[in-house]
Amino acid sequence: MGKFQKKRGKASPEVSTASLPDIIFMLLFFFMVVTVLRDSEKKVDVVTPQVTELTKLEKKSLVNHIFIGRPVEKYKAVYGTKPRIQLGDKFASLDEIPLFLEKHKSKVSENMRGGIKTSLKIDNSVTMGIVADVKLALRKAGQLLVNYSAKPRAD
């Protein structure tokens, strides 16, 4: 008769790493799809005023952002130090506001177009003259839903 030997200490099987690259690529693709990149470079300095009462915008995809402020250091040599209007990723004049609004409106579905708002991000040091001109251009273009961006006041 043969001798039977008892196995001493059972070793656990090794963890299979064959599916690890698949998991890593799935996570990579997930974060690539979910991540939202900034779609415009800020070309003007904007220090918004501080307020006590704020309301949060619900659907940010329905918001046009118009920045009004003095150009950042990088652009002061070309555009000077007077307050400028930034639409999207470029400096613009008042005449370009209706076209900017139409481009955004064409990207939004028809049933959502009534909810499009324009958010004015205005520097504290800007005079009301340029702001009034922008508001008049918005009114002429039919954009009546306008809000002002601000920061909460630190109490």
| Per-residue pLDDT tens digits for 61-94 | 888 899 999 999 988 888 888 999 999 888 999 9
**Residue 13 domain-assigned?**
no
> Is residue 3 a part of any domain in this protein?
no
pTM: 0.71
Q: Is 155 helix (H, G, I), strand (E, B) or coil?
A: coil
Backbone torsions φ then ψ of 66, nearest 5 degrees: -120, 120
Q: Classify residue 114: in a domain, yes or no.
A: yes
Residue 110 sits in a domain of what CATH number?
3.30.420.270
Domain assignment of residue 58, given as a range: 44-150
**What single DSSP character describes residue 101?**
H
By DSSP bridging, strand 63-71 and strand 117-122 are parallel
What is the pLDDT averaged over residues 116-125? 91
Residues 17-31 have a mean pLDDT of: 90
Residue 19 counted as domain residue:
no
Quick one: which H or E segment has residue 85? Answer: strand 84-87
CA 44: distance to chain centroid? 15
* Averaged pLDDT, 114-122: 91
Please tell me the total count of domains within the chain: 1
